[in-house]
């Protein structure tokens, strides 16, 4: 009888130990699962933030692409193409959302975008010389925009000292080679690289 009681006691003790070890494992698995869920949620949130930032960056990159196409049309003295591209740029500027930037950046960007839209619209309805006058101010706006939004591209800020009654005018380019949008074929190489961006 004593042997049976001892065996039962030993069995009960063994069962208790197995259960407590199992409970600890279960608690650890639950804790690990909770941590994994938290980490996954943070990763998802980070991806959403990155997607929003990438979306904003891609919108500013679209504006840059449209700006460079317009610049090339002016370089090539293509008045009609510049008109079309002025309207394309106007549309891109209208779709630019500033809400993901800081309050002060939003204020700056809203003013820049509004001014740039006005000049892009004028380019879409003006003769060549007037297009170039508006492109001068539009270029200042795009340069100011990039100072806030940044860009992944390597850009060159070029400067022509002879345009605008020798006051000069700047523009952005993706290459070091000077191709002047203010004079086109009349003085294609007039200007110099003022600075590199990125």
Q: Name the percent of the chain lying above pLDDT 70.
A: 71
pLDDT of residue 40: 54
pLDDT digits (tens, 9 = 90+) for 162-175: 999 999 999 999 99
What confidence category does residue 114 fall into, taking pLDDT thresholds of 50, 70 and 90? very high
Q: How far apart are CA 44 and CA 41, in angstroms?
A: 5
| For residue 14, pLDDT beyond 90 | no
pLDDT digits (tens, 9 = 90+) for 65-95: 999 999 999 999 999 999 999 999 999 999 9
69-72: long-range pairs with CB below 8 Å, 24+: 70/120, 70/123, 70/135, 70/138, 71/135, 71/171, 71/172, 71/173, 71/181, 72/179, 72/181
Element (H, E) at 89: helix 79-94
Of 113, 141, 126, 46, residue with least CA distance to 83: 126
């Amino acid at each position: 009888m004593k042997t049976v009681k001892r065996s039962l006691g030993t069995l009960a003790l063994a069962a208790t130990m197995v259960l407590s070890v199992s409970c600890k494992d279960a608690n650890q698995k639950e804790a690990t699962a909770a941590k994994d869920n938290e980490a996954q949620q943070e990763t998802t949130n980070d991806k959403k933030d990155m997607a929003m930032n990438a979306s904003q960056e891609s919108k500013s990159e679209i504006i840059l692409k449209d700006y460079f196409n317009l610049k090339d049309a002016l370089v090539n003295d293509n008045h009609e193409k510049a008109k079309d591209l002025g309207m394309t740029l106007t549309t891109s500027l209208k779709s630019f959302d500033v809400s993901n930037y800081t309050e002060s950046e939003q204020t700056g960007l809203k003013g820049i975008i509004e001014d740039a839209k006005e000049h892009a619209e004028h380019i879409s309805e003006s003769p060549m010389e007037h297009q170039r006058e508006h492109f001068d101010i539009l270029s200042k706006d795009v340069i100011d925009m990039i100072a806030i939004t940044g860009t992944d591209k390597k850009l060159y800020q070029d400067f022509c000292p002879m345009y605008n009654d020798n006051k000069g005018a700047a523009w952005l380019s993706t290459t070091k080679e000077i191709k002047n949008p203010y004079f086109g074929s009349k003085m294609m190489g007039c200007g110099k690289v003022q600075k590199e961006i990125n």
